[in-house]
């Protein structure tokens, strides 16, 4: 199974996913920045609002350190589905970090980290603007996940 990403005008790689958060019965399509430097996959406040998460019901108690910053994230069980070029959608279960809302961060993207990326063989060619991910392992197909 091969999943393809895309590049924004600033040449940042993205991958489009389906995201399901069973606890809140929420589902949305999310564009994740493909970030090999991030340990974990993190949902931005912008995409959290798009998903319809109730931030008042989240516990922000998971310490996270990044490039020059420290914060407390909420963590939710989630499933990401990645549509491939053949019409399949492999699913990946994960502990999704949810970044707290902070003024001035409304435009920050959601980030796909190595917790998912390590399950791919990745080819990135910036000159050709190609991001190709061959799925090495998944947790099944997206369709049965939706029946939860």
71-92: average pLDDT? 90
The Cα angle at residue 77 between residues 71 and 78, in degrees rounded to 5:
105
2-143 maps to CATH 2.40.70.10:
yes
The pLDDT of residue 148 is 46
Has residue 4 got a pLDDT over 60? yes
* Residue pair 32/109 in contact by the 8 Å Cβ criterion: yes
* Residue pair 101/45 in contact by the 8 Å Cβ criterion: yes
Share of the chain above pLDDT 90, in %: 65
Nearest to 41 by CA among 6, 72, 84, 76: 76
DSSP state of 109: P
Task: Kindly report, residue by residue over 86-119, the tens digit of the pLDDT.
Answer: 888 999 999 999 988 877 777 889 999 999 999 9
Spans of all domains in the chain: 2-143
How far, CA to CA in Å, does 25 sit from each of 52, 77, 124, 145? Answer: 10, 11, 34, 12
Give the pTM: 0.89
């Amino acid at each position: 199974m091969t999943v393809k990403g895309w590049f924004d005008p600033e040449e940042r790689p993205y991958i489009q996913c389906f995201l399901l958060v069973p606890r809140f019965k929420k589902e949305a399509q999310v564009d994740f920045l493909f970030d090999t430097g991030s340990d974990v996959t993190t949902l931005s406040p912008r995409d959290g609002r798009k998903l319809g998460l109730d931030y008042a019901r989240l516990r922000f108690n998971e310490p996270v350190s990044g490039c020059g910053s420290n914060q407390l994230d909420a963590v939710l069980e989630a499933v990401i589905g990645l549509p491939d070029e053949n019409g399949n959608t492999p699913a990946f279960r994960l502990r999704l970090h949810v970044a707290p809302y902070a003024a001035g961060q409304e435009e920050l993207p959601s980030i796909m980290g190595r917790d998912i990326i390590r399950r791919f063989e990745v080819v990135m060619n910036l000159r050709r603007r190609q991001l190709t991910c061959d799925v090495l392992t998944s947790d099944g197909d997206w369709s049965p996940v939706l029946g939860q």
